[in-house]
């Protein structure tokens, strides 16, 4: 079992399907102790030996989670997908047990609202978020796109041709577009912090932060 004295830093992942299983494996790869729970013996068998500990249990049973000492964990992830009732009930039980940081997967906005009401501190929609991200990449000229908050994003894009040979201070990008260039990468190099004295070349890659529509507008300039 996960070391009792370290449970505050450990994560319990409930539901070892595609999302939960991949997340649990990634956490273990980052040297984080993980207790995986699933009601399907096949999923438990698949992750046996890959996670710190794996248990076959019904997460909608408060007694089962209590006996597993889930209240001692600092973080919990509910990765249950299509069984909405199990997802909501499990999240509610975790909240009742006092788990301080609960993450829950939702499959719709309505499902997400319910999860928040019953105690989830963070709700993620993997399919929706990935679909939105890909849509931005497909329809624009961005190389990558990450929405940090509602209507605020960081985009990776090629430097516009008209910026070639000029400093960020001279270009006045923040004043003209309402976005901030926070990083720059030369061809074959790594990203470094950008300052007002940074000279831009037409083949540079930029990291730009700002309101989503403004960041998109700037990316279209490339």
Express each pLDDT in 154-165 by its tens digit. 999 999 989 999
What's residue 222's pLDDT?
Answer: 66
Cα separation of 112 and 26, whole Å? 23
Tokens of 7: 């449970």
Per-residue pLDDT at 4 exceeds 60: no
- Give the pLDDT score at 3: 52
Residues 6+ apart with CB under 8 A from 108: 125
| Dihedral angle sign, alpha carbons of residues 133, 138, 139, 144 | positive
pTM over 0.75, yes/no: no
Residue with structure tokens 């595609």?
Answer: 18
Residue pLDDT, tens place only, 171-212: 999 999 999 999 999 999 999 999 999 999 989 999 999 998
- Lowest model confidence (mean pLDDT) among 102-116, 134-148, 196-210: 134-148
Query: Residues 105, 20: contact at Cβ < 8 Å?
Result: yes
């Amino acid at each position: 079992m996960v070391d009792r004295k370290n449970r505050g830093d450990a994560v319990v992942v409930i539901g070892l399907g595609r999302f939960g299983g991949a997340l649990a494996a990634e956490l273990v790869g980052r040297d984080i102790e993980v207790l995986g729970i699933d009601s399907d013996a096949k999923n438990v068998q698949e992750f046996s030996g890959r996670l710190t500990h794996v248990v076959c249990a019904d997460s909608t049973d408060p007694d089962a989670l209590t006996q597993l000492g889930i209240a001692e964990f600092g973080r919990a992830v509910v990765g249950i997908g299509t069984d909405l009732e199990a997802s909501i009930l499990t999240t509610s039980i975790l909240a009742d047990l006092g788990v301080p940081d609960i993450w829950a997967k939702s499959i719709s906005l309505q499902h997400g609202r319910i999860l928040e009401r019953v105690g989830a501190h963070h709700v993620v929609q993997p399919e929706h978020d990935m679909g939105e991200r890909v849509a931005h990449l497909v329809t624009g000229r961005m190389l990558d796109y990450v929405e940090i908050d509602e209507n605020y994003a960081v985009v990776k894009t090629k430097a516009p041709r008209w910026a070639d040979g000029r400093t960020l201070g001279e270009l006045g990008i923040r004043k003209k577009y309402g976005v901030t260039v926070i990083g720059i990468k030369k061809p074959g190099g790594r990203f470094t912090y950008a300052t007002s004295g940074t000279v831009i070349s037409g083949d540079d890659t930029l990291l730009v932060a700002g309101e989503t529509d403004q960041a998109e507008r700037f990316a279209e300039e490339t």
